[in-house]
Amino acid sequence: MFRLEARPEPSRLMSVLSPVFAVAITLLVGVALFSILGKDPLDGLFVFFVEPVKTAYGLSELAVKATPLVLIALGLAVCFRSNIWNIGAEGQFILGAIFGGGVAIHATETSNKLVVVLILLAGMLGGMVWAGVVAVLRDRFHTSEILVSLMLVYVADMLLSYLVYGPWKDPNGYNFPQSITFASTTQIPKLIAGYRTDIGVLVALALVGVFWVFVFRTYAGFQLQVGGLAPAAARYAGFSARRAMWTALLVSGGMAGLAGALEVAGPLGQLTPYVPAGYGFAAIIVAFVGRLHPVGIVLSATLMSMFYIGGELAQSRLGLPKSVTGVFQGLLLFALLACDTLVTYRVRFTRTRAARAGAPLVGAEAVKSEGGTG
């Protein structure tokens, strides 16, 4: 049997290895799952990890899906680092899409090209408003940001649904719940002609740099992290917990809103009830698997994007439901959390109970009364 023993300090090696272990475990479970379902596991792995990167088109799609994940996860990383549990990024993403889309439907073919900037700013504002509600309620009334931010996801979803079924419905859209197709002037400029990848990728990569500087090289970023790790120390140092909370929520709301606006004005080109694709929730996993570090987030977002594309391919090629993506996403986070135990604890293999009887009383007592052998 074995027991866990606290390490004197967290292992840096394990902190890097843990996501790798987690991915390996997820893969093993994936192989087992494919076998149980009577599919060739090699085909499964091929569809998830080779197919998406085989062609230029595949790589472009990979970037299209990774972009919102990176953006949202960067914001969430700031939140989680300051111990604010914003789990409603999906709602902030939807509000970003609504605000950005609201600007876009009013643009015409003759609008100035700079309308794109306006759309993105509106999207950020939308996300910030939604996260701001969470911040106000937490600040003024001490409500749990976990539950409020999550409830607001459902509210945002209904708001979007109301708009596309009601006032914003395309009058010439055969009664489909969708807005008009936005004017071509609102289209986020494409990176390469013929591919769906747009300059959103560059925006995301630039923000990765900005976040690295903010988190690791600015005083405000330092204050946020101290507040998250040791609230008492932060209070003693005179760092404002309120300001940290507001900053974290507004930043993450703004990022999710930006992602939403980029999505509607980019790949989608109109508002539909299918704008929310679960990026806000997947980004939570991306942030954790990426170790709340900007570079790690880019890597984990790429992996998660493969899961999305692999899920779609698994549906057409292997006849598996698309929701297999969600299964893998959840498994990955589970595996990561379990592996993370190794960062702060090490496994000690213990001898049999009889041999342990000679151990010091306190240790034996603790083990016995807790059944702490596993």
Residues that bind another protein (CB under 8 A): 4, 6, 85, 87, 137, 141-144, 146-148, 150-152, 154-155, 158-159, 161-162, 165-166, 281, 284-285, 288, 321, 323-331, 333-334, 337-338, 340-341, 344-345, 363, 366-367, 369-372, 374
**Residue 303 CB, nearest distance to another protein (Å)?**
15
Residues 6+ apart with CB under 8 A from 35: 41
Q: Which is nearer to another protein, 182 or 328 (CB)?
A: 328
When the beta carbons of 172 and 369 are compared against another protein, the nearer one is 369
Amino acid at 219: Y
CA-to-CA distance for 97 and 8, rounded, in angstroms?
Answer: 47
Looking at beta carbons only, is 116 or 282 nearer to another protein? 282
Angle between helices 41-49 and 12-36 (to 10 degrees): 130
Q: Which is nearer to another protein, 258 or 314 (CB)?
A: 314
CB of 202 to another protein, least distance (A): 30
Longest CA pairwise span in the chain (Å)? 86
Containing H/E element for 98?
Answer: helix 89-104
The Cα-based distances of 89 to 76, 125, 147, 149, 359 in angstroms read 8, 14, 12, 8, 50
CB of 136 to another protein, least distance (A): 10
* Nearest CB to another protein, comparing residues 209 and 363: 363
C-beta separation of 340 from 18 below 8 A: yes
Q: Distance between CA atoms of 85 and 114, rounded to whole angstroms?
A: 35
Beta carbons within 8 Å of 122's beta carbon, 6+ residues apart = 99, 100, 102, 103, 261
Burial label, 140 (beta-carbon count in 10 A; 0-12, 13-18, 19+)? exposed
Cα–Cα distance for residue pair 59/55, rounded to 1 Å: 6
CA 201 – CA 63 distance, rounded (Å): 7
**Which CB, 125 or 342, lies closer to another protein?**
342
CB of 334 to another protein, least distance (A): 5
> Which CB sits closer to another protein, 143 or 240?
143
Query: Based on CB atoms, which residue is closest to another protein, 184 or 323?
Result: 323
Task: Provide, rounded to whole angstroms, the least separation between the CB of residue 371 and another protein.
Answer: 6
Q: How far is the CB of 175 from another protein (least distance, A)?
A: 15
Contact criterion met (CB below 8 Å) for 223 and 239:
yes
Closest to another protein by CB, 101 vs 200, is 101
Structure tokens that stand for 111 in this block: 């609008």
What's the min distance (Å) between Cβ of 209 and another protein?
A: 27
Closest by CA position to 267, among listed 182, 177, 363: 182
∠ CA 92-98-100 to the nearest 5 degrees?
100
User: Closest approach of Cβ 244 to another protein, in Å?
Assistant: 18
Contact indicator for 244, 81 with CB cutoff of 8 Å: no
Q: How far is the CB of 364 from another protein (least distance, A)?
A: 11
